[in-house]
Amino acid sequence: MRMDKPRVEPLSPDEIDAETLARLGEGPHLNIFRTLAQHPALMKRWLVFGNHVLAKSTLPPRERELVILRVGWLCQAGYEWGQHVVIGRQAGLSDEEIQRIPAGAEAAGWSEDDRWLLRATDELHGDAFISDTTWAALAEKLSVQQRMDLIFAVGQYNLVSMALNTLGVQPEEGLPRLPEQ
């Protein structure tokens, strides 16, 4: 974690406005949502997009989580990493694969398809562009919609990582910690 306490305090459930609380549904509510509840209009609109990327994307869940964890690592977003290690395991990533994510695409053990996903993530994060070589390799396995969802997943989780890091959102108890660099 970059910060050991929040810059923006998460709201308690009784401080969250009724419309936002209804949108969040039954608790317990994660610190990310309780923090973003400080800005209900932003949160309302962000949730629509975030829900697409996380729950309605055409990317298979395992591949989506591989990409999200790589972005979390690249951004050194401890909160993001911890939440998505749990989600990634549920989506089919092994602990060995999760431990290998910080090493990137060239680490031994990745399938060729996983290597291209990791390369695309690194290219988008570093240059805001997927090279022609990587795009062509992705096109062999992913549809146009899946490649578009990949771009938006990287962008969404880069944005979320920036917000989490800057706002100082603290992880819930018991979440895995970001590995040392």
Secondary structure of the chain in HEC code, one letter for each residue: CCCCCCCCCCCCHHHCCHHHHHHHCCCCCCHHHHHHCCCHHHHHHHHHHHHHHHHHCCCCHHHHHHHHHHHHHHCCCHHHHHHHHHHHHHCCCCHHHHHHHHHCCCCCCCCHHHHHHHHHHHHHHHHCCCCHHHHHHHHCCCCHHHHHHHHHHHHHHHHHHHHHHHHCCCCCCCCCCCCCC
For residue 21, the model assigns a pLDDT of: 93
Q: Is residue 5 part of a domain?
A: no
Per-residue confidence at 177, pLDDT binned at 50, 70, 90? very high
Same domain? 66 vs 146: yes
Q: Are residues 109 and 156 in the same domain?
A: yes
Same domain for 105 and 119, yes or no, is yes
The verdict on 106 and 159 lying in the same domain is yes
Same domain for 111 and 32? no
Q: Above pLDDT 70, what percent of the chain?
A: 100
pLDDT band at 164 (very low <50, low <70, confident <90, very high): very high
Q: Is the pLDDT of residue 107 over 80?
A: yes
Q: What is the CATH classification number for the domain harbouring 111?
A: 1.20.1290.10
- Which range of residues forms the domain containing residue 139? 59-165
Provide the mean pLDDT of the chain. 96
pLDDT at 171: 95
Q: Is residue 181's pLDDT more than 90? A: no
Do 126 and 143 sit in the same domain of this protein?
Answer: yes
pLDDT (0 to 100) of residue 180: 84
The answer on 96 and 135 residing in a single domain is yes
- Give 51-100 pLDDT, tens digit per residue: 999 999 999 999 999 999 999 999 999 999 999 999 999 999 999 999 99
Is residue 106's pLDDT more than 80?
Answer: yes
- For the chain, the domain total comes to 2
pLDDT digit string (tens) for 8-62? 999 998 999 999 999 998 878 999 999 999 999 999 999 999 999 999 999 999 9
State whether 63 and 143 are in the same domain: yes
